[in-house]
Structure 1
Amino acid sequence: MGDVEIEPWSEDDLELLRQLNQPSVRAYTGGTETDDQVVVRQGRYLRGPVRGAGQMFAVVLQPERVKVGSVGYWPRVWHDQPVYEMGWAVLPEFQGRGIATAAVRAVVDAARARGDRRWAHAYPSVDNPPSNAVCRKAGFELVGPTDFEYPPGQLMRSNDWRLDLKAPADG
């Protein structure tokens, strides 16, 4: 595996978002979306920083400069506290190589640099061992299982993982 970098989401990343919209990638996040829904998601990803609603990034594998996934953070209120929620997706042919963990660590650094929230949370399905492993390897602590609404209108059983953004970064 080469180095993993993140770069701000751009207009050029719509095709990557379409590639990530496949059953094996979206199995634990409500299933695939219509192309219209993907285009709406692309708009949200692009407007996030403008509206102060977090930041999405493309995951780029170096030195080839191949875009292999997405990662990001966005504000939410969790148990009456302002936090960042984090999420990620990696194309199937690049999974299992530590890419998601490296990308999550990089996005934690980006959220930490903002300095405006104490906690980052991730809510992978309890049935999604790879994403739960990413949380553990990226330094999150398991708070426990919870009912989490995603997609909107649907409850899923998730693990609540959190990371203290005010604690010194490891390494």
Structure 2
Amino acid sequence: MEKTRLRLEPWSDRDFWLLERTNEPVMTEHLGGPESDERLRDRQRRYEALSAREPAAGRMFRVVLEASGDSAGAIGFWERQWRGEPVYEAGWGILPEFQGRGLAVAALAELLSYVRAHGSRDRVHAFPGTDHPASNAVCRRAGFECLGEVDFEYPPGVPHPSLDWRYRVGPRPAVTPSG
């Protein structure tokens, strides 16, 4: 089977439609259900603001199929503290009509390459629910290490049994003064 080629395009003000699609019940089944329109508009503003910051702060991307130009989903990473350490958290969603083709794994590989090139933290975590075998398989296939079960809050304030998956991007080179 030929591997589908894709690219990641930075999130923009024109991508609200994709956010609406990833907010459908089938896409949010393992995330506590769809968000209200107000919360979705706030999420859009956060995604746009993240894309306006320096690359090491994180990014949201549209997953675009090379051959057709179709938007297949969204993926991103952002800064967070986890167990006292500065790490990145990653999240993704591939639209139902594009699932089952390995696109989430391919998009995650592209995202990790971006983090490797632009990030300032050496670990990326993902926290799919224990009840979400597809997302856990994506983590495993992308080379993440499972650190075990945790009660992860998502949405905030709602503990959800999840698996803590970690990917080591590698140590960041030390910045040396020039001159």
Instruction: Report TM bin, short chain.
Output: over 0.9
Whether 1:117 and 2:117 are equivalent positions in the alignment is no
- The CA distance in 1 between the partners of 2:118 and 2:4, in whole Å, is 27
Unaligned segments of structure 2, at least 5 residues: 172-179
> Which of 106, 109, 120 is the aligned partner of 1:105?
109
Q: Alpha carbon RMSD of aligned pairs, Å?
A: 1.3
The one of 58, 66, 78 equivalent to 2:82 is 78
Q: Is the 8 A contact 2:11 2:51 kept in 1?
A: no
Match in the other structure for 1:14: 16
- Asked if residue 39 in structure 1 is aligned to residue 41 in structure 2, the reply is yes
Conserved in 2, the CA contact under 8 Å of 1:71 and 1:87?
yes
Residue aligning to 1:135: 139
Q: In structure 2, how many angstroms separate the alpha carbons of the residues matched to 1:123 and 1:70?
A: 16
Whether the 8 Å contact between 2:10 and 2:51 is mirrored in structure 1 is no
Distance in 1 separating the partners of 2:45 and 2:136: 28
Give percent identity, aligned residues only. 47
Quote the Cα distance in structure 2 between the aligned partners of 1:129 and 1:5.
Answer: 25
CA deviation profile, 1:98-149 (whole Å, cap 9, x unmatched): 0111111111111111241111000000010000000011110111110101
Question: In 1, Cα distance between the equivalents of 2:143 and 2:123?
Answer: 12
CA distance in 2, matches of 1:4, 1:101: 11
Check conservation: 1:8, 1:57, Cα contact below 8 A: yes
Task: Note if contact 2:58-2:119 (Cα within 8 Å) is conserved in structure 1.
Answer: no
Unaligned runs of 5+ in 1: none
Contact 1:139 1:163 in 2 (8 A): yes
Amino acid at match of 1:27: E
* Structure with bigger gyration radius: 2
Q: Which residue of 2 aligns with 1:57?
A: 61
Pick closer, same or farther for the CA change 1:49–1:10 going to 2, 3 Å.
Answer: closer
Which of structure 1's runs of 4+ aligned residues deviate more than 6 A?
Answer: none
Q: Once the 2 structures are TM-superposed, how far is the Cα of residue 2 of structure 1 from its aligned partner?
A: 3.2
In the superposition, the TM-score normalised over structure 2's length comes to: 0.89
Letter in 2 for 1:163: Y
2: CA distance between counterparts of 1:83 and 1:119?
5
Could you say which residue in structure 1 is the equivalent of 2:174?
none
SS at match of 2:32: coil
